[in-house]
Structure 1
């Protein structure tokens, strides 16, 4: 129900943009829907057929809503490290990422953001991202393990700290999220290889990720944009490739 209410509020926010109360309602109901979805996923093995239908409907509603949000909330934060690894561990290659040039450029760029970090939450986020890049130099399997630590960091944050992290006014964290999108893009070919290049959820997810990256990048001052230009181009190239599939 919260997912439907959140989707409806987003619709009204888009059609009646002068009425800001709908945006607040959308975020409020979205948060409640994500919380209940997280609880359902933790007990997914014991769900009835009816409950599974509800989980699927909730996911569809939230995905469609995220597509129309300018800054999609990081819904992956509802997942724990254990849930992530259960889904991907069996097929993760234990070899270095084949595109080391992009990995090395991303490491160079994220290091340039280090001096701008001023709080512990952003520092933890930064450290998980750079550790994932370093892992990609040796093993994609290890990189997924490092990246799952990001979800753990998000889950352990107080609500206000998390809201500050994803705030549109938090310039440094917006830049860090662009690195998160870049890492997702670097990982995506392996997911496509296993699940099939025309798997709809993977293709749709890549398009949405590209939309979020463009929105985050446009909200940055020019001085910071120059530090994450490579990461944005990386995500845009993947979005363009998906559009041709």
Structure 2
């Protein structure tokens, strides 16, 4: 037989040739030649015993080489190709040509693909990146395969997430809220973690019910803020379940990387949700401190997490975003400064004096540099986080009227420097209106005694200006800068910095 390359019919041709030679040399074997083929039909007339044996073992088939002896056992095609690769037939003999198997990973991380090495594809970080201390990131996961891969995130994954007290997993409202989270509501912090929020957190939430509740609760509060729909009951329902699950997760001593991501993600979601709630002021500052403390703890545990946690990462991401910053109007600065000067004599307790100093430094920075404003504003949050427990309780005491006044100034100041702070959103469309700070300013003013109301003139003036900016507009997202000059009949407007 002339040499030829193997194809899908090579085994059939070899068997026919062997059978023909056996028949010519010994006619008695003609009746048994059908037993030489491994491709027997299920409709053959073999006995039940033979059929059962054929299913449990493969009858060896041979190729004759010019004699009546059955020289070499022949393997089925799929077994031969799998074990020996390609080959050729020459006189009934098989010449094997080795073929190198595929050793590259199909769904490897970007670092391994760039280095052209095999990736272990372990989530959230492969072994190669872990050894090199590199940030490991993967292409966007593809539905079912990515969901199956997410089992690597937790040693104890749950089969499903039953969000309701019914057999269904998602209600129509839940599905709407989850879609809103992915499209608009996912947090912009920690800076540079958009990919983690969109690809990793939803997968981890599939195995951590409390994280899913945190997602839906925050999304409900955000959507209520945007549209005015009555979603408060749904938001609180999911929030309570998220808090309960987070407390239980915190009590576990052994954590995986996905456990850390679930905890930190839930903490950030609860903090953002609190900021959207009119009565969530105390919870907001508490959760802000919790996010920082938990980040430090997880960083110390050196878990392979999807979130980037270090301050260095934050400022690396912000470096290019803080170029060509807008300049804040000097008139707004004058109004803020005059209002704070009027509050200063009231400050006596440590929580009051320290917080006042942080606000004062931020206002002074506006006069010098927009870049400095950003870092000074961030330092206000850092000052709250660094308070010891006793001072923080003093800071959050509802009877601490001076701190309430200063917090109102803090929220108004955030509205003033919004064009700078919003650089944290990068190129992403900001779907969260600044109006949630207005609600909190107005809510604070309701609890301030009449004798202190005069100190709220500037924060309320800022809030009213923003309300004017968004009134009557169909889009519920105000543009930035969001403030404009407004005429006041009261001569005191000159003191506030308005003309």
Q: Provide the TM-score with structure 2 as the length reference.
A: 0.37
Which residue is 1:19 aligned to? none
Q: Which is worse superposed, 209-218 or 101-110?
A: 209-218
Q: Please list every run of 5 or more consecutive structure 2 residues that lacks an aligned counterpart in the other structure.
A: 1-209, 218-231, 251-255, 294-309, 478-499
Q: Which is worse superposed, 191-200 or 225-234?
A: 191-200
Deviation at 1:113, TM superposition (A): 0.7
Contact preservation (8 Å) 1:89, 1:141: no
Counterpart among 45, 60, 64 of residue 269 in structure 2: 60
Contact preservation (8 Å) 1:129, 1:180: yes
Contact preservation (8 Å) 1:94, 1:142: no
What is the 5 A alignment of 1:120-199?
Answer: 120-192=350-422, 195=426, 198-199=429-430
Counterpart among 436, 457, 470 of residue 208 in structure 1: 436
Does the C-alpha gap of structure 1 residues 226 and 86 become closer, same or farther in structure 2, counting only changes over 3 Å?
farther
Q: Which is worse superposed, 81-90 or 59-68?
A: 81-90
* 3-state SS of 2:377 partner: helix
**Higher-Rg member (1/2):** 2
Contact preservation (8 Å) 1:4, 1:61: no
* 3-state SS of 2:455 partner: coil
Does the C-alpha gap of structure 1 residues 126 and 93 become closer, same or farther in structure 2, counting only changes over 3 Å?
farther
Question: Is 2:463 aligned against 1:232?
Answer: no
Q: Deviations over 1:5-43 (max 9, x none)?
A: 9x7xxxxxx98xxxxxx9xxx7xx59x87xx7xxxxxxx
Q: Deviations over 1:67-100 (max 9, x none)?
A: 3351423244444994765554442357673311
Q: Deviations over 1:183-234 (max 9, x none)?
A: 211221234466458422x42xx23222211111221122322122122221
Which residue is 2:445 aligned to? 217
Q: Deviations over 1:36-56 (max 9, x none)?
A: 7xxxxxxxxxx9567546544
Does the C-alpha gap of structure 1 residues 92 and 197 become closer, same or farther in structure 2, counting only changes over 3 Å?
same
Which residue is 2:476 aligned to? 244
Does the C-alpha gap of structure 1 residues 182 and 88 become closer, same or farther in structure 2, counting only changes over 3 Å?
farther
Deviation at 1:65, TM superposition (A): 4.4
Larger RCO (alpha carbons 8 Å, 6+ apart)? 1
Deviation at 1:133, TM superposition (A): 0.2
Does the C-alpha gap of structure 1 residues 136 and 3 become closer, same or farther in structure 2, counting only changes over 3 Å?
farther
Contact preservation (8 Å) 2:362, 2:373: yes
Contact preservation (8 Å) 2:374, 2:420: no
What is the 5 A alignment of 1:23-42?
Answer: none
Deviation at 1:121, TM superposition (A): 2.1
- Which stretches of structure 1, 4 residues or longer, exceed 6 Å deviation after superposition? none
* 3-state SS of 1:137 partner: helix
Residue correspondences, number: 214
Deviation at 1:236, TM superposition (A): 4.2
Structure with the higher fraction of residues in helix conformation: 1
Question: Is 2:321 aligned against 1:91?
Answer: yes
Which residue is 1:40 aligned to? none
Q: Which is worse superposed, 182-191 or 82-91?
A: 82-91
Contact preservation (8 Å) 1:94, 1:139: no
Contact preservation (8 Å) 1:95, 1:139: no
Contact preservation (8 Å) 2:211, 2:262: no
Contact preservation (8 Å) 1:92, 1:141: yes
Contact preservation (8 Å) 2:355, 2:383: yes
